[in-house]
Amino acid sequence: MIQPEKIIIADDHPLFRQALLGTLKAKLTYTVWLEAQTIEELEQQLTNNNDSDLLLLDLNIPGAHGFNTLIHVRNHFPQIPVVIVSAHEDHDTISKAMSYGAAGFVPKSTPVDDIYSAIVAVLSGDTWLPASFEQKQRDNSDGDIAERVASLTQQQYRILMMFAQGMLNKQIAYDLNVSEATIKAHATAIFRKLDVRNRTQAVIAIAQLSLTETGFKQG
C-alpha cells in the first residue's frame, strides 16, 4: 500500500486519540497525523491541509450537529474521503452516514487492527463497514425477497420454478395447457412482484433463498 501523507483525526477524546495514534503511527510510519478536537479546529485543518488523504471523523465532536459536519466536508472537500469513527453503531446511524457520503464507518468498539484495515481499504478506493452491519444488510435483503416470493400465486410460483429450470415460455405453456400469451402475462406479474426486470434477475433473486421445486408440484 502507498503510504498516505496526511490523515486528519477529529475526535475530542484524548485517550481514544492517543490509543489509536499509538497503534497507527507504528503501521503508517511516514504519515503526518493532524488532530482536531472541535469543529473550528477541524475547519482550520481542512482549509490548511486540503491535500489530506483521509479524515477520521467522530460524529459527536464538539460543535457538530448530527451529520451536518460530514455533509459539509463532503460538499467542500470532496477530494478527502471520510471514515466515521463513532460510539454509535446502530444500523440506522451507519446507513445514514454512508448515504451522506462516508467512505467507511468504524464503531469505537472496533479493535485497532480492524480500524487500520478500514483505513487501508478506504485509501485503496474501497468502502469499509462493520461485519455485523453487512450481515444485517444481507439478512434484510433475503427477508425482502422471501416476502415477495410469498406474494406470488401458486400458478405464478410454479412458472417461476420453470423459469429457474430454463424452460421457454412455449414449453411452459404446453406443460400447463395455457396459451403463450398467458405465460407472458404471468411473467410480467412475477417480475413486478419480485421487483426485477427479466427472467435472469428473477432466477438470481430466488437463488439467494436456495429455493427448490420440491414440494410445490401439487395443486
Locate all alpha helices (DSSP H) within the chain, ordered by sequence.
14-27, 39-48, 68-76, 91-99, 112-123, 131-150, 154-164, 169-176, 180-194, 199-207
φ, ψ (nearest 5 deg) of residue 190: -65, -45
pLDDT score at 140: 56
**What domains appear along the chain, each with residue ranges and CATH number?**
6-124 (3.40.50.2300), 145-213 (1.10.10.10)
pLDDT score at 168: 93
Integer Cα distance of 78 and 6 in angstroms? 16
pLDDT score at 196: 84
First-to-final CA distance of the chain: 60
CB 97 within 8 A of CB 67: yes
Cα angle: 18, vertex 132, 79; to 5 degrees: 55
Cβ-count burial 86-106 (b if 16+ within 10 Å, e if not): beebeeebbebbbebebbbbb
Nearest to 158 by CA among 200, 204, 167, 170: 167
Cα angle: 1, vertex 52, 106; to 5 degrees: 70
Integer Cα distance of 46 and 80 in angstroms? 9
pLDDT score at 139: 57
pLDDT score at 2: 60
pLDDT score at 37: 94
For cell 470532496, what's the residue? Answer: 78
pTM attached to this predicted model: 0.63
- Collapsing DSSP to helix, strand or coil, 101 comes out as coil
- Collapsing DSSP to helix, strand or coil, 54 comes out as strand
pLDDT score at 142: 56
> How do residues 105-151 score in pLDDT, each as one tens digit?
999 888 888 889 999 889 888 888 888 775 555 555 555 777 888 88
Angstrom CA distances, 163 to 149, 172, 173, 207, stand at 14, 9, 12, 12
Please list, in sequence order, all residues whose beta carbon lies within 8 angstroms of the beta carbon of residue 71, skipping any fewer than 6 positions away.
100, 101
Tens-digit pLDDT string for the chain (219 aa):
566 789 999 999 988 888 889 989 999 988 999 999 999 999 999 999 999 999 999 988 888 878 899 999 999 999 999 999 998 888 888 888 988 889 999 998 888 888 899 998 898 888 888 887 755 555 555 557 778 888 888 899 999 999 989 999 999 999 999 999 999 999 989 988 888 888 888 888 887 775 444 444 433
